[in-house]
Amino acid sequence: MQTPRRRVLIPLLASMLLLVACEQKITQANFDQITNGMTLTQVERLLGSGTDDTPAAGYGISGAGALSSKPAEEKTYVWKGKGFRIVVKFKDGKVVEKSKLDN
């Protein structure tokens, strides 16, 4: 049998967990905290998991004229929120550019 205290405490804890899970992370404030040099892990702590939107690696011509298929050093990740999305470019694993676009 539940005590009156448990009947109140359990729904209260469940509500708090739901609020934390639904917290909007794609905000102007979090966008403003992203700075050049941050790692993907650091950005994901602010925004949650992003989507890798890096264009497929293609072929290139080296300075010596040789054809190469070197993987891209730059990666682009996207986070979608209400009304806008955040796009962050990483080079060598660090933020080099960020932008906020309207949906």
The three-state DSSP-derived secondary structure of the chain is: CCCHHHHHHHHHHHHHHHHHHCCCCCCHHHHHHCCCCCEHHHHHHHHCCCEECCCCCCCEECCCCCEECCCCCEEEEEEECCCEEEEEEEECCEEEEEEEEEC
Predicted confidence at residue 73, as pLDDT, reads 81
Question: Per-residue pLDDT tens for 59-89?
Answer: 555 556 665 555 558 999 999 988 899 999 9
Tell me the whole-structure pTM to 2 decimals.
Answer: 0.66
Name the CATH code of domain 23-102 (choices 3.30.1450.10, 3.90.198.10, 3.40.190.10, 1.10.10.10): 3.30.1450.10
Q: What percent of the chain has pLDDT over 90?
A: 50
pLDDT of residue 21: 46
Express each pLDDT in 3-40 by its tens digit.
Answer: 667 676 777 666 555 444 446 899 999 999 999 999 99
pLDDT tens for each residue of 38-57: 999 999 999 999 999 987 66
| pLDDT at position 10 | 74
